[in-house]
Chains A and B, each alone.
Chain A
């Protein structure tokens, strides 16, 4: 099963090409981009990134941990001070706030690793250092009989070169 690699120089062109290919039913698409371009990422997969759920879960865990830890510790060994309550919510809010940020931030990092499938121990066969320079790459898995069509479609969208990825 051949893989076709098209090289582009502008994000809009590769985004249009990717969208056209998806519409034609070629869903096995991979792109390489030297910088983030939302239009390209959305063309390949319009769904919002799953990282958001990780941040939310981390933040909620943090705020619960912050209050639970401080309240539990204050009541585990109670210190009587002038008849005041053993626990005091306002200062504990500071701890809860910091842990919200801490856990939320760390979970966001883990979310990046999980959702972005990092670390990736194998480099894509079509990856080349030019894609960390200025070029964009679009890789499509296709059947032999579709090669000519995809080649034409990519060139129509200003692909500067199209080649078959050597297995």
Chain B
């Protein structure tokens, strides 16, 4: 039998007329079209923040880490705080894509794409801080399994090295997950665009045509990646927490740290997805796809993880008291009433108390309130890491070596710049790739149609 006649690749560049396009395609591809003045303004602000931080970072490379506010005994400052913050943000995407996929929670389809994108951008942002914190950036390859000049290898018993492997794996697998999910949508965009976009999408879509062979391997791939990413997402923040828990600093050396950090990461990740998607839905008119129902479900996750995080706060205090260990008790007393009491109470109020409002359906479905809560949670979660890291280090065993750290202006600019770094990627993503997983939304719609009327 002769092979089926085929079109040469040059023909890909010719637009295919679409006789009857679907409403879903039109609605969701429209987000990528055109750019308003507001968009450019936001992009410029984001890039501006990033460039300011880049400039300060170059200054830091030139001057050394002395320009950071480090003061004995605190040598993990705002950089590590912000690193942990961004790694935490990165957790919602894979949770939504992988774990909710395995649980067949269909509501994830409207938000998984943007959440996955946020995951990648947040991991990229977090990774910057490893280099920034190291100070001597030209030596950062020391963390790779590579023998030094005396042929000594890295120490695999160090949690910092586990972190390298966890973050690298997480970044890679998140990108693979994102790209695999994107392929069918890139084909949709390819069939409906012209010029450079058509060329770009043609290459990225890999000649996707939605044949049964392609879909079958695609579905299997998504399933397997979900299976692999589910333990991965739980492991990443566990490993980050072990950076602390493996030490003997009072307030850090606790077995609760892994689940406590994972719950906190999911908590902050969902908050960030809400913070970003509420304005995006409004600006691009995506109310038909990202409904209040999706926001309500995400706010339920916020409530659940808030309770877990609040429980962890309580159990930390209980264990400090119940253990009878004086250094532990002092650390936690100083946490609430010592020099960093403001950060501690911001953390407790924003993370454990404010989300309790979400018990009420009226608040879960009131979008502006939800937005305000999500912003407060983001703030609270940054302060949680600040309290744990700075608060822990400032009040270790011997009062003679207690110290105070205040972030210096270069650190604050770099922290602010990380938000610009994250937002610029997200803004570019909005215009380059479909913000909602079109093929998955269609799957639900076609099913609904086939079974009469639908939802």
Contact = CB atoms under 8 A, between A and B. Distances in A.
A77 B153 CA distance: 7
A139 B231 CA distance: 41
B173 A102 contact: yes
Secondary structure type dominating chain B contacts = helix
A101 interface: yes
A64 interface: no
Interface residues of A, number: 76
B168 interface: yes
B4 A124 contact: yes
B218 interface: yes
Contact of B156 (A92, A106, A109, A139): A92
A34 B220 contact: no
B168 A34 contact: no
Nearest to B444: A35
Contacts of B220: 48-49, 51-52, 112, 115
Contacts of A125: 4-7
B187 A132 contact: yes
A109 B180 contact: yes
Contacts of B7: 122-125
Contacts of B42: none
A116 B2 CA distance: 21
Nearest to A116: B217
Contacts of B157: 88, 91
B439 interface: yes
A89 B6 CA distance: 55
A41 B206 contact: no
Contact of A55 (B2, B192, B224): B224
A43 to B, nearest CB: 8
B301 interface: no
A56 B6 CA distance: 34
A146 interface: no
Contact of B172 (A102, A119, A134, A165): A102
Interface in A44-58: 44-45, 48-52, 55
B191 A11 contact: no
A41 B152 contact: no
A163 interface: no
Nearest to A108: B224
B206 A119 contact: yes
